[in-house]
Structure 1
Amino acid sequence: MNDMSWADGVTRVAVLTGAGISTDSGIPDYRGPSGVWTRDPALVEAFTRDSFRSDPAVRTRFWRTYLGHAAWRAEPNAAHRALAELERAGVAVRILTQNVDGLHQKAGSSPRKVLEMHGTMHEVRCTGCGARTPSDATLARVAAGDADPRCLDCGGILQLAVVLFGQHLDADTVSHAERIAAHSQLMLAVGTSLQVEPVASLCAVAVNAGNRLVIVNRDPTPYDDLAVEVIREPSGTALPRICAALATRAASAVR
């Protein structure tokens, strides 16, 4: 990591986070060497909207997969905590996350400053009537033998409140994220392959608005050429240093 001169004068930061920021918390990523899709490519079908809604067997596999998912037991790691500490230091931090695990909020980041681009696993949504309920009640039904739980109000298909493949992101959420990317002086892209659109293109939105882009990721991404720096360190070691430097320089700027 260089002298981080790109951190000078930065008081507004947007942080785009992907699965890689949560691997130190014991949650596997998707496309890495030990990723969910790498180990079991067929599991992608259970996360595809049309397959999920049309095939009870797919839904059964989906719920069985999530019943024992590591994310339910996961705790925030050093990267999550560093971002929460940066906010507490007075830097304007907005987190745009592709993750559904809720670990940013659990680490102490203000919920209103975390935009969950792909939804949350902590709620269940009925695809019929739209009712939203906490996930634990539905998971308890699955654990008790209800392999394909239905809405208790209307009988509709229940889905975790996450965006599946083939399902469009909420247009208002995308517009909100684009505004944040355009108005932040620095965009940090952390632990994301930047292969899933339209979220990945937020990096281009930031750069086209004249802002700096720094990428922290183990593997190359399609947006590396736009970045002022690409950092190959694990997020758990890189982010605490980055956030400490940002906090120190922001404090110096207001003196």
Structure 2
Amino acid sequence: MNHAKQLADLIRAADRVLVFTGAGISTESGIPDFRSPGGVWSKMQPIYFQDFVASREKRREAWTRVFNKSAGWVGASPNDGHRAIAKLVEMGKVTAVVTQNVDNLHQDGGVPDDKVIEIHGNASYAKCLDCGMRHELEELRAPWEADEEIVCVNCAGLLKTATISFGQAMPEDKMERATAEAEASDLCIVLGSSLVVYPAAGIPVMAVRAGSRLVIVNREPTDLDPYAHLVLNTEIGPLMNEVMEALETA
């Protein structure tokens, strides 16, 4: 059977679809992943959360990466995969999108913000480490250019991009919500994740344990492939275009 039709049939039969996305969906928009050759961490060392907090030099380096766009995490456009997910949300099939990505492309592609659970945060804005107030990046460019400490206008606490850094605690509220969505789903579709980074990769595991069918679409095999109802090692955007065509013509 045609793979796109197989996936379309699974979506059509499902009541609550959870989509779980990793770097592989955004590489199709030109955003580098983290761990592969040529990825972000092959070009620069991650700055650990404890070092960011303790060292002005490390904070300066982190903000320089932000404003020089060294990591390349923001500024790209959503692709067909992102737009297909947004359409499935609009159709009422996908109840939540749990993402490991920090690029804001799901929202840019049309998924309402309240449907996106960003378990690794978001690189498109900053948050205060003390009071949690959101700050837009362009507002912080002037103090960075002046080599000033970048602090919160509300409480003078340290600001950091709203990503979850190495050594930083995972957001409990988002993990709890992702867990609840996984356990309530009857179909979990993994798009572009190697499923090796935990605790994030545990979300599809929870879905399977709760009785959900699992679909994995990734360029390379994953450790969870044996537990999946369908595994497709292919490009996400072209596949999802075919899936949407199959759904719309049925």
- Higher mean alpha-carbon deviation, 221-230 vs 199-208, is at 221-230
Give runs of aligned pairs for residues 124-163 of structure 1, distance below 5 A: 124-142=126-144, 144-146=145-147, 148-163=149-164
What percentage of residue pairs aligned between the two structures are identical?
Answer: 36
Which of 9, 13, 20 is matched with 1:9 structurally? 13
- Higher mean alpha-carbon deviation, 71-80 vs 2-11, is at 2-11
For 1:219, the equivalent position in structure 2 comes to 220
Quote the Cα distance in structure 2 between the aligned partners of 1:93 and 1:241. Answer: 21
Per-residue CA deviations over 1:70-107 (Å, capped at 9, x if unaligned) read 34321111111111122233423310111121111111
For 1:28, the equivalent position in structure 2 comes to 32
For 1:186, the equivalent position in structure 2 comes to 187
Quote the Cα distance in structure 1 between the aligned partners of 2:118 and 2:159. Answer: 20
Given that 2:11 and 2:93 are in contact with CA atoms closer than 8 Å, whether structure 1 keeps it comes out as no
Given that 2:195 and 2:201 are in contact with CA atoms closer than 8 Å, whether structure 1 keeps it comes out as yes
For 2:178, the equivalent position in structure 1 comes to 177
State TM-score, norm by structure 2. 0.88
Question: Mind listing any 5+ residue stretches in structure 1 that lack a counterpart?
Answer: none
Displacement of 1:136 after TM fit?
A: 2.0
For 1:206, the equivalent position in structure 2 comes to 207
For 2:107, the equivalent position in structure 1 comes to 105
Given that 2:74 and 2:123 are in contact with CA atoms closer than 8 Å, whether structure 1 keeps it comes out as no
Displacement of 1:56 after TM fit?
A: 2.0
The one-letter code sitting in structure 2 at the alignment partner of 1:219 is E
- The verdict on how the C-alpha distance between 1:90 and 1:8 changes in structure 2, with shifts beyond 3 A counting, is closer
Quote the Cα distance in structure 2 between the aligned partners of 1:204 and 1:72. Answer: 29
Quote the Cα distance in structure 2 between the aligned partners of 1:55 and 1:202. Answer: 34
The one-letter code sitting in structure 2 at the alignment partner of 1:223 is L
Instruction: After the TM superposition, list the runs of 4 or more consecutive aligned residues in structure 1 that deviate by more than 6 angstroms.
Output: none
- The verdict on how the C-alpha distance between 1:139 and 1:239 changes in structure 2, with shifts beyond 3 A counting, is farther
Given that 1:6 and 1:228 are in contact with CA atoms closer than 8 Å, whether structure 2 keeps it comes out as no
- The verdict on how the C-alpha distance between 1:79 and 1:174 changes in structure 2, with shifts beyond 3 A counting, is same
The one-letter code sitting in structure 1 at the alignment partner of 2:39 is G
- The verdict on how the C-alpha distance between 1:140 and 1:244 changes in structure 2, with shifts beyond 3 A counting, is farther
Quote the Cα distance in structure 1 between the aligned partners of 2:115 and 2:57. Answer: 37
Question: Mind listing any 5+ residue stretches in structure 2 that lack a counterpart?
Answer: none
Displacement of 1:140 after TM fit?
A: 4.2
For 2:124, the equivalent position in structure 1 comes to 122
Q: In structure 1, the residue corresponding to 2:13 is in which secondary structure?
A: coil
Instruction: Let me know the Cα RMSD of the aligned residues.
Output: 2.2
For 2:58, the equivalent position in structure 1 comes to 58
Quote the Cα distance in structure 2 between the aligned partners of 1:72 and 1:92. Answer: 25
The one-letter code sitting in structure 2 at the alignment partner of 1:25 is S
The one-letter code sitting in structure 2 at the alignment partner of 1:186 is L
Quote the Cα distance in structure 2 between the aligned partners of 1:145 and 1:202. Answer: 43
